[in-house]
Amino acid sequence: MNETLSGQMTIRGISGSPGICIGKAYIVDREGVNLIKRYPVSESMVPSEIARFKNAVTKAKNDHAKVIESLDHDLGENLNILETHMVLFKDKMLYGKTIETISRDKINAEWALRKVSTQVKSMFQQIDDQYLKDRVNDIVQVSDKIMSHLVGAQDIKIRDINKRVILVAHDLSPADASQIQLESIKGFVTDRGGKNSHTSIVAKSLKIPSVLGLGRATVSINNDDILIVDGSSGIIIVNPEEDTLFKYEERMARFEAYRADIERDSHLPAVTRDGISLNLMANIELVEEVVSAKDNGANGVGLFRTEFLYLDLKRFPTEDELLKKYKELVELMNPEPVTIRTLDINGDKVNPYLDPVEEANPALGLRAVRFCLENEDIFSTQLKAILRAAAFGNIKLLIPMISCVEEIVRVKKVLNKAILELEDEDKIFNKDIPLGIMIEVPSAVIMAEELATHVDFFSIGTNDLIQYSMAIDRSNRRVAHLYQALNPAVLKMIKMTYDAAQKKGIELVMCGEMAGDPINIPVLLGLGLTNLSMNSASIPVVKKMIRSMDFNLAGKNAKKLFEFQTTEETITFIQKEYKEILPYRETED
């Protein structure tokens, strides 16, 4: 952090998404509910403390009733869950016991509620019945809702913020970020988060600048402070001096002109100067992003991250709800292909509503296909929806986080069972769709040849492949310096995967963020990759790069890369070799 006499302060973080924005800070405080204090309440104040608690329950219940009213009444079982919550608000265990605890222990309502809900939670968890164990989640949600009314915490709904501001948050989940309304939010900055975390991926697709991993931004910045967010350099400037402001206004205008210039050519084909055609596709998180995928000239959706729908709903969707979304998506993209990746929750996309278990190492935990194979019903519901949607367009099915052959064999069993069920139910569906796996765990790279015999295509997920091969948490700012796409180890793994796919004659795609950064393009082309899927905002700049390159020369240059021992050597080589065509980038001073 560096501060000048006038109070201008520069804080360095990690680039979340490029671009510059200038505006007022808006602090998003979600911590209120967690910072509960205990204080004694005198005998005479007990009745008013109980009244305060009852009042919070009534408010929370009213809010909840409004949510139920606003819902589609076709939701079947999920509506039942919400109605169960309605009952829990006045349940003897939570409601009755909290009142009892306030008067017996003479303590404040917040502390009493926290104490009771913790006791109820541990009681439920000891019961040997999965259904009851799962109800812990309901109790947590209901007591959190009451708590937020008690502490007066603003339950800020990002979707509802309607001021032109820059969000400043301790952390924003990918689901929070996907709620951002572009007309109001100019950009965001967070204390936590690392390079290519899912939050940064969402920011890139929204095309708003963001800087993550700032450490203590929420402590150093006040509401309405003027902020400059330089997402390209990963810095923010708080309360800038006039000349700094002026300089950044000019930079912002240059960046926007540059982006507009590149986007103008995004409809042109991605063909190298020596006539090799590449297939550039879009990674999307929401069906609504199809518009920007098409505008940016994508030849299909190479990765649809389906988990965002689940995270937004905060519950597991039904087969029909999923079918509706998938059908809409494939019909919009038809005849271009849509690769639907099955649910990849946990890791950095944890949502206590979906899986209340806290893990010490979430990135190494019950994530993605591991979660799905443990929760076969949820998995099968999604597979059935995908197979049904495949009757309406061109779908490919992609399974994340496969780490061994046994997993893909088990996936195929669940898939076959889902097919039999759909046949029994007389549903219209299409089972002849390509099946692929993400190659994002080093063990899958090592076993790529064996895995290739079970599937139709591979998609390299470099975001995780880098995380797992360099042993760094992709959301942890303290190890972000080791997040190196061009590390020789990563390049060797890409080459191994490419060779295995070639040998076994299956298709190879890359859908990690690495494919969307122009500096990596000479290397990827050089290694022989021709199918790249990326954040749709990156397609125009990558296309421009490809159109100025020579595929055969890239192949010759790539051979030299394997002589280098460090990332630095590779970067220096590319910067020198491709100086003329690498995109413009302003360096900070």
**Sheet (strand 2-3) strand order:** 2-3, 9-12, 235-238, 226-230, 20-28, 165-169, 185-190, 210-212, 14-17
Select 474 or 544, whichever has its Cβ closest to Mg ion.
Answer: 474
187, 234, 362, 461: residue in contact with Mg ion (rule CB under 5 A): 461
> In the bound complex, what is the minimum distance in angstroms from residue 537's beta carbon to Mg ion?
19
The pair of structure tokens assigned to 467 is 């995380």
From ligand PEP, Mg ion, none, interface partner of 462 (C-beta below 5 to 8 A by class): ligand PEP
511 is catalytic: yes
> In the bound complex, what is the minimum distance in angstroms from residue 467's beta carbon to ligand PEP?
8
> In the bound complex, what is the minimum distance in angstroms from residue 340's beta carbon to ligand PEP?
13
From Mg ion, ligand PEP, none, interface partner of 208 (C-beta below 5 to 8 A by class): none
Select 235 or 354, whichever has its Cβ closest to ligand PEP.
Answer: 354
- Using CB under 5 A as the binding rule, whether residue 194 contacts Mg ion is answered as no
Q: How far, in Å, CA of 304 to CA of 326, rounded?
A: 10
The one catalytic residue in 21, 85, 372, 511 is 511
Q: How far, in Å, CA of 164 to CA of 224, rounded?
A: 11
Q: Any bridge partners for residue 277, and if so which?
A: 271
> In the bound complex, what is the minimum distance in angstroms from residue 474's beta carbon to ligand PEP?
8
Q: How far, in Å, CA of 367 to CA of 432, rounded?
A: 27
> In the bound complex, what is the minimum distance in angstroms from residue 536's beta carbon to Mg ion?
18
> In the bound complex, what is the minimum distance in angstroms from residue 315's beta carbon to ligand PEP?
21
Q: Which stretch binds Mg ion (CB under 5 A): 201-209, 375-383, 434-442, 521-529?
A: 434-442
Select 110 or 513, whichever has its Cβ closest to Mg ion.
Answer: 513
The pair of structure tokens assigned to 393 is 């367009």
Select 99 or 340, whichever has its Cβ closest to ligand PEP.
Answer: 340
Look at residues 362, 353, 309, 355 and name the one whose alpha carbon lies nearest to residue 144. 353
Q: How far, in Å, CA of 412 to CA of 464, rounded?
A: 23
> In the bound complex, what is the minimum distance in angstroms from residue 435's beta carbon to ligand PEP?
17
440, 473, 513, 517: residue in contact with Mg ion (rule CB under 5 A): 440
Cβ count within 10 A of residue 266:
20
Select 187 or 516, whichever has its Cβ closest to ligand PEP.
Answer: 516
Select 114 or 305, whichever has its Cβ closest to ligand PEP.
Answer: 305
From ligand PEP, Mg ion, none, interface partner of 466 (C-beta below 5 to 8 A by class): none
Instruction: Return the residues of window 113-172 that contact Mg ion according to CB under 5 A.
Output: none
Q: Which stretch binds Mg ion (CB under 5 A): 70-78, 122-130, 329-337, 453-461?
A: 453-461
Please report, as ranges, the residues that interact with ligand PEP according to CB under 6 A.
303, 305, 344, 440, 461-464, 511-512
Look at residues 181, 175, 174, 187 and name the one whose alpha carbon lies nearest to residue 159. 181
The residue whose Cβ lies closest to ligand PEP is 461
Q: What angle do CA 209, 215, 216 make, to 5 degrees?
A: 100
CA distances from 322 to 23, 45, 61, 246 (A): 38, 51, 29, 48
Residues 436 and 458 sit within 8 Å (Cβ to Cβ): yes
From Mg ion, ligand PEP, none, interface partner of 49 (C-beta below 5 to 8 A by class): none
Residues 124 and 336 sit within 8 Å (Cβ to Cβ): no
**Residue 518, preceding bond cis, omega within 30 degrees?**
no
Select 137 or 467, whichever has its Cβ closest to Mg ion.
Answer: 467
Select 221 or 282, whichever has its Cβ closest to ligand PEP.
Answer: 282
Cβ count within 10 A of residue 214:
25
Look at residues 177, 216, 229 and name the one whose alpha carbon lies nearest to residue 18. 229
Chain centroid, CA 273 distance in Å: 35
198 is catalytic: yes
Q: Which stretch binds Mg ion (CB under 5 A): 79-87, 307-315, 461-469, 513-521?
A: 461-469
> In the bound complex, what is the minimum distance in angstroms from residue 465's beta carbon to ligand PEP?
7
CA distances from 144 to 3, 68, 150, 155, 357 (A): 39, 18, 10, 10, 17
The one catalytic residue in 21, 170, 198, 372 is 198
- Using CB under 5 A as the binding rule, whether residue 464 contacts Mg ion is answered as yes
Q: How far, in Å, CA of 278 to CA of 286, rounded?
A: 25
The residue whose Cβ lies closest to Mg ion is 464
Q: Any bridge partners for residue 338, and if so which?
A: 301, 395
From Mg ion, ligand PEP, none, interface partner of 305 (C-beta below 5 to 8 A by class): ligand PEP
Select 98 or 339, whichever has its Cβ closest to Mg ion.
Answer: 339
- Max CA pair span of the chain: 86
Q: How far, in Å, CA of 196 to CA of 217, rounded?
A: 20
Sign for the pseudo-dihedral over CA of 552, 557, 560, 561? negative
Residues 475 and 197 sit within 8 Å (Cβ to Cβ): yes
> In the bound complex, what is the minimum distance in angstroms from residue 553's beta carbon to ligand PEP?
27
**Binding-site ranges for Mg ion (CB under 5 A):** 440, 461, 464
The residues carrying an active-site annotation are 198, 511
